[in-house]
Amino acid sequence: MIKPRVRLPSTASKGEVIEIKTLISHPMETGYRRDAQGHMIPHHIIHTFTCTYNGEQVFRADWHPAVAANPYLAFYTVATESGRLRFEWIDDTGTVYATEADITVV
């Protein structure tokens, strides 16, 4: 399985607004398409993305079928303290794709 990619600054000053970029490989199949044999391709999308910062949720997104395959998402948060950010993508088969990144706040 292809791992998600996350990019954020490794260090930031306290109170700084940091940009976090994420990219994950996923078909984001709408459920409206048919394959070459005419059979429906089952609905298969990531419906929830969350980012927690030392356990506290700082960003969340609900995704719907119109989101393209291999979704790219960039968002901002405030660097409050050193610690770990956890990113989770949950798709409708219940699979959780997760990755973590550390940040040092000086």
Partner 1 sequence: MPWHLVALSAVLVVTYAALCLLDAGASAQYSVEGRRSGYTYLSPENQRLQDDDFANPGLLWVEQGRELWRQTDGTSHASCATCHGEAEESMRGVRTRYPRVDSQRGKLINLEQQINRCREVHLQAPAYPYESAALLALTTFVSWQSRGLPMAVHSDGPAAPFFAAGKHFFHQRRGQLDLACAHCHDQHAGQRLRGEVISQGQTNGFPIYRHLWQTLGSTHRMFAWCNTAVRAEPYPYGDDVYVNLELFLAWRGRGLPVETPAIRR
**Footprint on this chain of partner 1 (rule: CB under 8 A):** 2-3, 5, 7, 21, 23-25, 27-28, 68-70, 72
Shortest distance, position 70 Cβ to partner 1, whole Å: 5
27 Cβ neighbours under 8 A, 6+ residues apart = 44, 69
Residue 17 or 68 having the CB closest to partner 1:
68
Shortest distance, position 93 Cβ to partner 1, whole Å: 17
Shortest distance, position 23 Cβ to partner 1, whole Å: 7
Residue 14 or 33 having the CB closest to partner 1:
33
7 Cβ neighbours under 8 A, 6+ residues apart = 20, 21, 22
Q: What are phi and psi of 70, to 5 degrees?
A: 55, 60
Among residues 17, 27, 22, the alpha carbon closest in space to that of 73 is found at 22
